[in-house]
Amino acid sequence: MATHNDTGNWGEEKASDFLITKGYEILEKNYRHKHAEIDLIAKKDKMLIFAEVKTRSGTGFGMPEEFVNYTKTKLIMKAAEHYIFAKDWHFDIRFDIISILILPNGGTDIRHIEDAFY
């Protein structure tokens, strides 16, 4: 497996743990519908959260969250629509980004951007 895939998988696990510590329940990881994938689907109270996780080891090309482009958001929304219909969900939803920056000292900077896109 390529290093960037390892970093991405590691970041998704880190994001999942982060959300759990904030009181979220993880319902799905890497949910796929056609050509779209949602990294994490979580629930808190009566809110369903679709989260895109972006992990980077540097900011030379920008912050991790800057890599979620228009095309990616549209794919996530299509997959979310399918999930909502399949689960017959009738409450609120939200689209978040979990941005994980691996720092030079080995630490991490995790940013949870709520309502990142609609």
Distances, alpha carbon 116 to alpha carbons 62, 95, 105, in Å: 17, 6, 28
The answer to whether residue 3 scores a pLDDT higher than 70 is: no
**Residue 83 structure tokens:** 């999930």
Find out whether 15 and 105 touch, Cβ atoms under 8 Å.
no
Q: Name the one residue in this structure whose structure tokens are 């895109």.
A: 52
* Percentage of the chain modeled with pLDDT above 70: 97
State mean pLDDT over 81-97: 97
Q: What mean pLDDT is predicted for residues 63-84? A: 95
Query: For the chain, what is the largest distance between any 2 Cα atoms, rounded to a whole number of angstroms?
Result: 45
Q: How many CA atoms lie within 13 A of 25 on its CB side?
A: 7
Domain regions of the chain by residue span: 3-113
Structure tokens at 104: 């030079």
pTM of the prediction?
A: 0.91
pLDDT (0 to 100) of residue 45: 95
- Please state, in angstroms and rounded to a whole number, the distance separating the CA atoms of residues 70 and 102: 25
- Quickly name the fold that domain 3-113 has: Trna Endonuclease; Chain: A, domain 1 (3.40.1350)
d(CA 101, CA 118): 24
More confident residue, 6 or 75: 75
Identify the pLDDT of residue 5: 73
